[in-house]
Amino acid sequence: MLQAKNADLRNLDAVAKRAGVSTATVSRVLNNLNMVKNSTRARVLRAAEELKYHPNLHARSLARGKSRTLGILVSNMENPFFFDIYRALESAAHARGYEVVVANTDYSSEQLVSSVRLMIGWRVAGLAAIVSEMDSHLMQMLTDSKIPIVFYDVGTPQKNITNVRVDYRKGMKKIVEYLHSLGHTRMAFLGHHSTLGPISERRKTFLETVARFSPSTEGQIVAAADGLEGGRQAARELLSSGFQPTAILCVNDFMAVGVLRHLRDQGIRVPEDVSVTGFDNIKLAEFCSPALTTVHIPRERIGQTIFGNLVPDQASDRLSGQEILIDPELVVRESTGVVRQTQALENRQPSNSGLQPRC
């Protein structure tokens, strides 16, 4: 583009002219390469300062052919679970001199794909996909890209792709067994986006584990959107479905907080009338009322692990192409309790639902 001679063109050339040196020297000064006499360095720095010069980072990346920027994709930044991983990852990155760009996918695989396109276009040095959704062509696109990638939750290991997973089965099993040990007989699983892998893993495990205690124990399923409002909505549907749960198992803490709200509105006490559990152990789980019994997922560690596998550590090398499995732990707080005899018996109504999912 032949640009009109712009009066305030602030580029290397302008700085070079003003300092009476060549662009190469300016570049060397700005990149802290030595080999530059102190007096020249000073002249250059002053010139840059006077011109309010800010290097064009696009030009820089282009010339260098590589960047120190990592891409991060998350399904729902509003959910503190994702935010926490993002934050841990970002701070690890900053500590090692990497920049970070984030994109929200809203659990939509179209958005996931278009964000990945963007990141590839930006030639990020690595890509972390902390998402629950997937796209059939995506894996191919990513392996082709040759960019180091870490998937959390979804995807399969490849030459350039590492997977970090949490053993959701184990976590879910612990919850169901714990509730069963408290005498719960009618449990409901409350989720969102039932088609997504990591979510349906929990749902399936729920159903399987409940089935093990059948017929003394029944299971039921509902789903809405992720979030506070989604949790409330799902609780509303659950209660009006006729199934009268002794315990509600939420797919995550964030939705559980919404559930608590609806129960309080209905005058249903937690845990006296019904127990509620979450998943993730976000900070909010400890601050809501009653505090949530949940499953702890070590988000800090996950963030660090992801970073470690994205950026080649000088010492140890990457576990590229591996799968890393993380174990969750049960955290018991106030939202669960022993089933009262009356609670187990009362409300026994024609519950024709049984184990049939209806989401």
Pick from DNA, a copy of itself, none: which does 35 bind, CB < 5 to 8 A by kind? DNA
Q: Are strands 294-296 and 329-331 parallel, antiparallel or unpaired?
A: antiparallel
Select the residue interacting with DNA from 42, 59, 332, 345 (CB under 7 A): 59
Residues 108-167 that bind a copy of itself (CB under 8 A): 117-118, 120-123, 141, 144-146
Is 228 a residue that touches a copy of itself (CB under 8 A)?
yes
Rg over alpha carbons for the chain, rounded to the nearest Å, is: 27
* DSSP annotation of 338: P
* 62 near a copy of itself, rule: CB under 8 A: yes
From candidates 7, 37, 137, 341, binder to DNA by CB under 7 A: 37
What is the nearest approach in angstroms of a copy of itself to the Cβ of residue 83?
6
- By CB under 8 A, tell whether 9 contacts a copy of itself: no
Cβ proximity of 119 and 103 under 8 Å: yes
For the chain, the first-to-last Cα distance in angstroms comes to: 56
Q: What residue has token string 């696009």?
A: 58
Binding at 42: pick from a copy of itself, DNA, none (beta carbon under 5-8 Å per type): none
Both tokens of 169, joined, read 């089965």
Long-range contact list for 109-116, CB < 8 A, 24+ apart? 109/133, 109/134, 109/135, 109/138, 110/135, 112/73, 112/138, 113/137, 113/138, 113/141, 115/71, 115/73, 116/73, 116/141, 116/142
Report if residue 286 touches a copy of itself, rule: CB under 8 A: yes
Distance in Å, CB of 97 to a copy of itself, minimum: 12
Taking CB under 8 A as the criterion, the residue among 150, 196, 284, 295 binding a copy of itself is 284
- Residues making contact with a copy of itself (CB under 8 A): 1, 3, 8, 52, 54-65, 77-78, 80, 83, 87, 90, 99, 101-102, 104, 117-118, 120-123, 141, 144-146, 227-229, 232, 257-258, 260-261, 264, 283-284, 286-289
